[in-house]
Chains A and B, each alone.
Chain A
Amino acid sequence: MSELLANLALGFSVAANPYNIGFCLLGALVGTLVGVLPGIGTVATVAMLLPITFGLPPVGALIMLAGIYYGAQYGGSTTSVLVNIPGEATSVITCLDGHQMARQGRAGAALSIAAIGSFFAGCVSTVLVAALGVPLTSIALLFGPAEYFSLMLLGLIFAVVLAKGSVLRSIAMVLTGLLLSMVGSDLETGAGRMTFDIAELSDGIGFTNVAMGLFGFAEIIRNLEMSQESRDIVKGKISGLMPTRQDLIDSSGAIARGTIMGSLLGILPGGGAVVASFAAYTFEKRISKHPERFGHGAIQGVAAPESANNAAAQTSFIPLLTLGIPPNAVMALMVGAMTIHGIVPGPQVMTKQPELFWGMIASMWLGNLMLVVINLPLVGVWVSLLRVPYRLLYPSIIVFCCIGIYSINNSPTDVVIAAIFGLFGYWLNKHDFEPAPLVLAFVLGPLMEENLRRAMLIARGDATVFLTRPISAGLIAVAAGLLVIAALPMIRKRREEVFVE
């Protein structure tokens, strides 16, 4: 306990450095600014803003990125409440009741409850990350290549199960992602793989190019296609920002339950934040005395999922910081950023660079505080941003993305690759393939292959090693179980369809 406090004290001494507070504030501000733009989700925001952190010292850069992440997520909630356009999956649920509240003239209350809930969840989960960091790092020492491989497999299966489309399609996306990640030089022999003798591909396809193409450009192309439907922006001044006492009483239970659920689900690899917000909402609805109010502006319907997804966003740093495995696409971008600063994520970060590890954890809390501080007064600014017509917004996003991609390596080829992935993402969308599992697999691909190769080499070519080592076997069993549970209803439905004929 005293060790925990000492560690947190170290963290806060790093984070409280005026420069770092500045970076955190700036990150949260810019993150919200971009995250608020409709149709840009958290991944796209973080990918777009990644280049602007490159010039900073490592600790400052990661603190700023964490700030951007929280800001982007909060910005997404703002869009959900005010415009009914969820930036991404985690804020879909917030739309349901948040937008209804906004239409009843209670947008201010919805936004402030979202901020307060997120802040509470952030406080709790920051302590959780700090407390679990050390014991989990020691677990990491028990992990050999076989366990790492199985854990990543579990993460990918999670992503498959949580994706919207069919299980089969998501598996196809995972495999496509793994395959794409293998373009470039082989880790062990240096042989060029699937590079078509293009020099620029010998280093592999950059992750930011893939993410910006699939999430940035593809999204723009898709939005352009939709008839410019009248966006349901909440007009008029947003009054009564502060929630009433009754609002606070009503939502306190929901916030607490959402926090617990989010913290637990966020640790799981493979996109825990999405499932956390869904689960928290469903749970609140089930235990509510007035379930009929949900969907018609129930404040608990905003408080629970917002707390849950923020808690999950926070605890999803745990697998990254302790095991070095990014559990979702945003964390994958963090890995990219760390690598650029010469930090290899994993258990050794905590022992070798304690000021970085604890500084980042402390800055998570600061980031959450910033959100409350900057967002409540600035809601009016975000609303006016939403009034910018899309015909001017999308060219701005395009040039911003172009400059961002180019600035990473000063490479025009990277820009072209992102454009190709934009078209690919458009095609995927037409065929109901979801890009999220692809991106996660793309990030995990090289790690998975490395560990698979090592495990097989150590086991002298015996593939049963994944089932004979207990931890690995357990992880694989969970993965298989999940897959069966997810596949069963689909098979049953399909069978019914067949029998109907």
Chain B
Amino acid sequence: MSEGVRTPPNGGGFRFKVRAPRDFYGGLALIALAIVAIWTSGDLPGTHGFAFGPGTAPRLFAGLLAVVGALVALTGLFFDGPPIESYAIRGPAWVLLAILAFAGMIRGLNLGPLTIPPLGLVPSTFAAFMISIFGSTEMRWLESLIAAVAMTAFCVGLFVYLLQLPFQLWPWV
């Protein structure tokens, strides 16, 4: 019997106490990832005679991942560890939004009700810069605008003129 598990005095089975949440929930998430992988690769043919099928390796590694994930989760039950740090919302949200805006604007987007025409490199870069600015609590309008213009000019100069990569620059070109 492992010393880590405490059986409650009234003896109603195990009462699990998560002692290292980082390990426990991290491990659980890995198990979930493994299950998704096994589920999506479930219809692929497996080993056929001596030959591995396309599904063999994914299922093999997913199975191993599930086992290791379970071990990580178990250590979270038996050993003390630090709590999960709180997640910030502001930084990740604005950064994500900026990247998605760039991806949506550069070549245009047609996603159901959301339609964006292809806007080209200049507006996309400028917009992504200005959106990501909000991720920090220290933003200043004028400074950011100047920096956004400068960075856009730099990127156009580098990628389009110096490196000669094919980019649509403006919405109308």
Residues in A lying within 8 Å of B, measured CB to CB? 51-52, 54-55, 166, 168-169, 171-172, 175-176, 178-179, 182, 186, 188-189, 191, 193-194, 196, 217, 220-221, 224-225, 228, 389-392, 394-396, 398-400, 402-403, 406-407, 410, 412-413, 415-416, 418-419, 422-423, 426-427, 430-433, 449, 452-453, 456-457, 460-461, 494, 497-499, 501
Q: Is B135 an interface residue (CB 8 A)?
A: yes
Please report whether the interface of chain B is mostly helix, strand, loop or mixed according to DSSP. helix
Report whether A398 and B95 are in contact in the complex, using a CB–CB cutoff of 8 Å.
yes
Report whether B148 and A194 are in contact in the complex, using a CB–CB cutoff of 8 Å.
no
Q: A55-B164, A497-B79, A498-B3 are in contact. Are A422 and B72 (CB under 8 A)?
A: no
Give chain B residues whose Cβ lies under 8 Å from the Cβ of A52.
Answer: 158-159, 163
List B residues 118-173 near A (Cβ within 8 Å): 121, 124-125, 128-130, 132-133, 135-136, 138-140, 143-144, 147-148, 151-152, 155, 158-159, 163-167
Give chain B residues whose Cβ lies under 8 Å from the Cβ of A191.
Answer: 44-45, 54
Shortest Cβ gap from B2 to chain A (Å): 8
Shortest Cβ gap from B147 to chain A (Å): 5
Q: A51-B165, A398-B129, A426-B92 are in contact. Are A179 and B58 (CB under 8 A)?
A: yes
Give chain A residues whose Cβ lies under 8 Å from the Cβ of B129.
Answer: 395-396, 398-399
Contact of B26 among A225, A403, A433 (CB under 8 A): A433
Q: A179-B58, A498-B4 are in contact. Are A396 and B53 (CB under 8 A)?
A: no
List B residues 36-53 near A (Cβ within 8 Å): 37, 40-41, 44-45, 49-53
Give chain B residues whose Cβ lies under 8 Å from the Cβ of A501.
Answer: 3
Report whether B151 and A396 are in contact in the complex, using a CB–CB cutoff of 8 Å.
yes
Q: A55-B163, A416-B103, A431-B26 are in contact. Are A395 and B71 (CB under 8 A)?
A: no
Report whether A225 and B68 are in contact in the complex, using a CB–CB cutoff of 8 Å.
no
Shortest Cβ gap from A254 to chain B (Å): 37
Report whether B58 and A224 are in contact in the complex, using a CB–CB cutoff of 8 Å.
no
Report whether A422 and B98 are in contact in the complex, using a CB–CB cutoff of 8 Å.
no
Give chain A residues whose Cβ lies under 8 Å from the Cβ of B55.
Answer: 193
Give chain A residues whose Cβ lies under 8 Å from the Cβ of B155.
Answer: 399-400, 403
Report whether A412 and B103 are in contact in the complex, using a CB–CB cutoff of 8 Å.
yes
Give chain B residues whose Cβ lies under 8 Å from the Cβ of A51.
Answer: 159, 163, 165
Q: A168-B72, A176-B33, A406-B106 are in contact. Are A395 and B125 (CB under 8 A)?
A: no
> CA of A117 to CA of B77 in the docked complex: distance in angstroms?
48
> CA of A501 to CA of B167 in the docked complex: distance in angstroms?
64
Q: Which residue of B lies closest to A400 (CB)?
A: B155
Q: A179-B62, A182-B58, A400-B155 are in contact. Are A224 and B91 (CB under 8 A)?
A: yes
Q: Mark B86-123, 1 if CB is under 8 A from A, else 0.
A: 01101110011011101110110100000000000100
Give chain A residues whose Cβ lies under 8 Å from the Cβ of B4.
Answer: 498
Report whether A407 and B159 are in contact in the complex, using a CB–CB cutoff of 8 Å.
yes
Q: Which 3 A-B pairs have the closest CB atoms?
A: A224-B91, A431-B26, A186-B54
Report whether B50 and A460 are in contact in the complex, using a CB–CB cutoff of 8 Å.
yes
Q: A399-B129, A400-B155 are in contact. Are A422 and B163 (CB under 8 A)?
A: no
Contact of B136 among A193, A391, A403 (CB under 8 A): A391
